[in-house]
Amino acid sequence: MESLLNSELLLAFNTATAKNQRRNFSWNEHANWERIREQSRRGPVALESLPHAIGVPAVITGSGPSLDSCIERMKDFRGSIFCGASQACVLDANGIVPAYVVALDQHEIVAEQIRGLEWSRTVLITHVGIDPKVLDAWPGQVRYWLLPTAEEYDQDRVALAYPWLRSRFSSRGCTPNAAFQIAVRLGYKPVYHAGVDYAFTGGKLRCTLYRRIGYGRYEAQEAPDVEEEGLPRDDEGNYTTTEMLVYRHWLGVLENECGSKLRPFSEYGEGDDGSRV
């Protein structure tokens, strides 16, 4: 996989991502400032104010095809679930309530993905540059971190504007990578993944999605087959994209930095020697 990536490709990808982020960040940060200030007067708003869970397992969800094979076992998971907004309806349709929803993308669609969920104990974890509509759509608890967008980003200005927040870290490309960092910071171990494939595993474009059609009612939308023409393959031979290869590259960097591995959910319930526990 690494042979498909080089420094020029990574630089080009990071530059394009930073340019896209800068379109919205400054405006959103100004728009959210008053709201977050008021929230800070009523109670804790910082990521680091969340309770630590030393030795408690966690699972991070992604929208990859393998999420479908994990859903049933996740219903009995004895730990905390971190999901992205894209998987919120998938979990809700299957009767699974996560401990945390991590919102990263600055798109209005994120607001629609979480609107109407009755998860009173679930905490939304996001950054100060999120679209204000996302915060409008979430009635429950919220915790924030500072997300730098690029080297030229005025970090000192944002830190001064939000003195209640001390955690600052990059997403490293995608929501699961951000969720992994958060889980490790909170002390969760081991950390598993369900649907964080970075590839079109099983030849499918994504996991099964669910469309809300009424109160507590969903309609399943089966994932289409992926069109393979021109796509690279990862180390396991699965078709993927350059974007997902970059995300997986940064996950490897994070694993080294955090001293923790993101393990497949299929390993949940097994000892280090592979025996059942």
**Domain locations in the chain?**
2-266
DSSP 149-179: --TTS-HHHHHHH-TT---B---TTSHHHHH
For the stretch 212-226, pLDDT in tens is 887 778 999 898 998
The DSSP letter of residue 225 is B
Instruction: Tell me the per-residue pLDDT of 76-112, one tens digit each, with 9 for 90 and over.
Output: 999 999 999 999 999 999 999 999 999 998 778 899 9
> Can you give the pTM of this predicted structure?
0.86
Structure tokens at 37: 């200030």
Whether residue 190 is preceded by a cis peptide bond, meaning omega within 30 degrees of 0, is: yes
> What integer pLDDT is reported at residue 13 of this predicted model?
53
